[in-house]
Structure 1
């Protein structure tokens, strides 16, 4: 079976610093794959290379068997890759539904031509996406007044507006309260199950990682040092050493 996403020897060097070294993995359809590691391990650098926001030093990225190394972020997005960010990227001056409508207009190639009619376009589709993430009842609120957890859910609706086959989520629960984290990742797991979307996400909260990921990869100093299910990663001595200096990897808010 062809992987949705595959990397082969992905490497990034900044000057004399090797930020990511020879990272190779596969992500399959309907899989929720976690990429974890301490701060500075290279997780965000990996994401930026996957999405074309950073050029690779060496190695390749494949989407459903097609080499996408060197494509621009927009070209990669057009091929069915969505992304959410550590810090939400939304239009604060717009309402919740307008943010999603803008994403839908971009998906349909309508931004410039139909901008004067934006508030009337794709409302039903936007409301359906907001309902999926539990935000339909806040559709007419301005995003500037939303709680951070609601902003994250709105950003997920925006990412889904393009009907992606692959979703990259860079620390999706950063800045959220514990209950909000659990709710957002359960929502993500439901979307993976119901829509067959494949998800690669980075995360520091081990409760979230162990509870929701199908498989976990551990990055340290730019290199993959472990891969497996929650139990295998929890009991891996190298992972324990990386996180807690030899202690057991338990759930931990802010495990770095």
Structure 2
């Protein structure tokens, strides 16, 4: 992970979102650095999804600012944010079930390159090689011609990750990436994500409920509670933070994963 005086990929300043009289997000500020894998955690209703939706443009902030590589993107629509280099995966996958694995990635590539007019009549040829390369990154090149409708859930998650990489993002937002996955699939997907961070230099901000996943792979962790950021630090700092322990375990100590040979 790059550190020091390097400028952040994402900078969030005093972000606020209200719904009526309720502040779902209240004065949240943070940074994500180049090559950083950062977790945003918190109990249900803490404001994580609201925060994500403001970063990606699905929601406009009531107040505050969002900067991507120094450019303000506050309130810009999702397409504009995506075109500036932000990819996103969702808790519930949204692939085209009637298409093949490769065709799903090709559609994303055509959109990125502003060539959606190429859909007819020979779309299956457009950006085929680039799609296979992205599928190879996530370990699915050998399934390129399979229909999405018959994929296992873990494979759909990996396909969605390939689609999210189609715009060569500076920042990848991953909303509950391991939700609904078996334990081994969770480990494999997050290790894949960590490899992408290392090999491609992509910064990742992800939400997650599985604390084993969070502690095993995050460089830094932020904790939201009732819309406010109560902790932002490395794994040990957050694990030992009294406020975090109170939120998660009523004052108990957060589980510390022991080495495999312990």
TM-score with structure 2 length normalisation? 0.94
Q: Distance in 2 between matches of 1:75 and 1:51?
A: 9
Q: Distance in 2 between matches of 1:144 and 1:251?
A: 39
| Paired position in structure 2 for 1:36 | 41
TM-score with structure 1 length normalisation? 0.96
In the alignment, is the contact (CA less than 8 A) between 1:206 and 1:251 conserved in 2? no
Is residue 208 of structure 1 aligned with residue 213 of structure 2?
yes
Is residue 99 of structure 1 aligned with residue 104 of structure 2?
yes
How well do the aligned residues superpose, as a CA RMSD in angstroms? Answer: 1.1
**Unpaired stretches in structure 2, ≥5 consecutive residues:** 1-5, 258-262
| Paired position in structure 1 for 2:52 | 47
| Paired position in structure 2 for 1:193 | 198
| Paired position in structure 1 for 2:244 | 239
**Unpaired stretches in structure 1, ≥5 consecutive residues:** none
Shift of 1:112: 2.1
In the alignment, is the contact (CA less than 8 A) between 1:12 and 1:56 conserved in 2? yes
| Paired position in structure 2 for 1:2 | 7
In the alignment, is the contact (CA less than 8 A) between 2:118 and 2:126 conserved in 1? no
Shift of 1:114: 4.1
Q: Distance in 2 between matches of 1:251 and 1:100?
A: 38
Q: Distance in 2 between matches of 1:72 and 1:228?
A: 30
Shift of 1:229: 1.0
Distance 1:127 1:113, change over 3 A: closer
Aligned residue pairs: how many?
A: 252
SS at match of 2:188: helix
In the alignment, is the contact (CA less than 8 A) between 2:87 and 2:169 conserved in 1? yes
Shift of 1:251: 6.5
SS at match of 1:190: helix
Q: Distance in 1 between matches of 2:193 and 2:149?
A: 23
| Paired position in structure 2 for 1:122 | 127
Is residue 134 of structure 1 aligned with residue 101 of structure 2?
no
Is residue 78 of structure 1 aligned with residue 83 of structure 2?
yes
SS at match of 2:91: coil
| Paired position in structure 2 for 1:24 | 29
